[in-house]
Amino acid sequence: MSVHRSPFERLREKFDESELRCPECGYVDTEGGWRVTTSGGRVQYQFVCPSCSAVETREVRLE
């Protein structure tokens, strides 16, 4: 694995390390993580709770 990761990869890793508790039901997903998608000037991070299927989305806009 490369030591030089993009800022977007580092942000996803931060979410994976600290943001895995579902805000809806409180379930902590120790096996999962955030999905990352990009489209144009946006990078979207999404966490889907395996317990209640709630979706949490964070978005970074590139200008």
Read off the pLDDT of residues 24-49 as tens digits, 9 standing for 90 and up: 999 999 888 888 888 888 889 899 99
pLDDT at residue 31 in the model: 87
* pTM score above 0.85: no
pLDDT at residue 3 in the model: 65
Asked, for residue 30, whether it belongs to a domain, the answer is yes
How far is CA 60 from each of CA 1, 8, 22, 41, rounded to the nearest angstrom? 25, 9, 20, 8
CB 36 within 8 A of CB 42: no
Asked, for residue 1, whether it belongs to a domain, the answer is no
Question: Is residue 20 packed enough to be buried (19+ CB in 10 Å), middle (13-18) or exposed (0-12)?
Answer: middle
The overall average pLDDT reported for the chain is: 84
Asked, for residue 2, whether it belongs to a domain, the answer is no
Which residues constitute the domain of residue 14? 7-61
pLDDT at residue 27 in the model: 94
Give the integer Cα–Cα distance in Å for 60 and 12.
11
pLDDT at residue 5 in the model: 76
